[in-house]
């Protein structure tokens, strides 16, 4: 029995399967990019929403710091190698579930954003998606005494999901254009 187990372990290490689990230490961005600017996102959507654009900007900044594999993050383009530019194009919430009296109890929040990643040194676009769509829902309590507005937490959750998607794109290099040499 031990011989079979030892033979199996030797086979695994000798066959190269351990190569499959090498940690990823680089980003999908070109090697020259070390500093990334995340300027304040713009808000083009109809109707004002309190701090939506700043929440998305902050979420992207935090996510790059968390998962950016050594990328430095700053708020301005000055001295940066690349910039993550974002625009909130649409923000809406719609009742999706009614209570017995016909009032909306569950709302769906939908945010459509545009994001572009620019190489500022070479003046090229590395990534561009003008239609990032994120949805989340929140519920209003039936009891007015325990009412808590869930819109803000829903926007927070959507901004984090947005940031995770954008940073995954950067870190993993999905859709990021390689430099031609």
Tens-digit pLDDT profile for residues 77-125: 999 999 999 998 988 878 888 778 777 778 787 888 899 999 999 999 9
Q: Is residue 181 part of a domain?
A: no
Secondary structure (3-state) at 51: coil
Residue 180 counted as domain residue: no
- Give the CATH number of the domain where residue 151 resides: 3.30.160.150
Q: Of 61, 120, 118, 51, nearest to 88 (Cα)? A: 51
- Confidence tier at 145 by pLDDT (50, 70, 90): low
Please indicate whether residue 86 or residue 141 has the higher confidence score (pLDDT): 86
CA 61 to centroid of chain Cα atoms: 10
Do residues 125 and 116 make contact, with C-beta atoms less than 8 angstroms apart?
Answer: yes
**Domain range enclosing 28:** 2-172
- Domain membership flag for residue 41: yes
Q: How high is the pLDDT of residue 23?
A: 43
Whether 177 maps to a domain, the answer reads no
Residue 110 located in a structural domain: yes
Over residues 18-71, the pLDDT tens digits come to 444 444 445 567 888 899 999 999 988 666 566 788 889 999 999 999 987 788
- Say what the pLDDT of residue 177 is: 57
Q: Would residue 35 count as lying in a domain? A: yes
Determine, yes or no, domain membership for 179: no
Q: What is the pTM of this model?
A: 0.71
| Residue 76 vs residues 18, 69, 114: alpha-carbon distances, Å | 42, 20, 19
Q: What is the pLDDT of residue 22?
A: 42
CB 136 within 8 A of CB 154: yes
pLDDT band at residue 12 using 50, 70 and 90 as cut-offs: low
Answer yes or no: is 168 within a domain.
yes
Number of structural domains (the chain) is 1
């Amino acid at each position: 029995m031990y011989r079979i187990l030892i033979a199996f372990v030797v086979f695994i290490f000798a066959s190269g399967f351990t190569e499959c689990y090498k940690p990823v230490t680089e980003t999908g961005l070109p090697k020259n990019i070390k500093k990334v600017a995340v300027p304040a996102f713009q808000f083009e959507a109809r109707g004002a929403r309190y701090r939506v654009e700043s929440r998305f900007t902050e979420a992207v900044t935090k996510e790059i710091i968390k998962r950016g594999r050594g990328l430095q993050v700053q708020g301005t383009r000055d001295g940066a190698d690349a910039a993550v530019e974002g625009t909130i194009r649409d923000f809406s919430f719609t009742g999706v579930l009614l209570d017995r009296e016909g009032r909306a109890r569950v709302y769906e929040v939908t945010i459509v954003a545009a994001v572009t990643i620019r190489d500022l040194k070479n003046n090229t676009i590395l990534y561009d998606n003008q239609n990032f769509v994120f949805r989340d829902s929140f519920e209003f309590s039936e009891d007015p005494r325990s009412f808590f507005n869930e819109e803000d937490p829903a926007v927070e959750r959507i901004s984090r999901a947005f940031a995770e998607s954008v940073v995954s794109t950067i870190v993993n290099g999905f859709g990021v254009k390689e430099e031609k040499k």
